[in-house]
Amino acid sequence: MASVLIIDDSMFMRNKLSAVLKTRGHEIVEAEDGIKGLQAARTRHFDVVLLDIIMPGTDGLKILGLMREQLPQTPVIIVTADIQESVYRQCMELGATAVIHKLPKGEELLLAVDNALDPEKGAAR
């Protein structure tokens, strides 16, 4: 069981991601914007962060950069509707562990989280 922070302005998306992750017994904390998510990540340890890019206020790319500076050991998986290759490259350059597209299939989400939790095991797949 891992602690997972979901940062997404869509309650629908947070609920969908949370429901899938709870099937594996993961503990879920949700934040509806990047600033609240960053504050949550500063106040407690999370094993994995799921982060949306397009949100009101501070966007996910800015939050990703801040998380890499302040919490470099915390894996961050970008969950986005943007399918542009340039966005994918930018996320990876900023230090994302993975980029998956909304609405991810349950197994795709669980595999991304498993790989973030145990990168060596994921590399062997």
pLDDT tens digits, 16-65: 999 999 999 999 999 999 999 999 999 999 999 999 998 888 888 999 99
Looking at the predicted structure, is the pLDDT value of residue 123 above 80? no
pLDDT band at 120 (very low <50, low <70, confident <90, very high): low
The second-level CATH assignment, the architecture, of 3-117 is: 3-Layer(aba) Sandwich (3.40)
- pLDDT tens digits, 97-111: 999 998 888 899 999
Q: Tokens 């399918």 identify what position?
A: 83
User: Would you state the pLDDT for residue 124?
Assistant: 39
- What is the residue type of 26? H
Q: Which residue has the higher pLDDT, 88 or 84?
A: 88
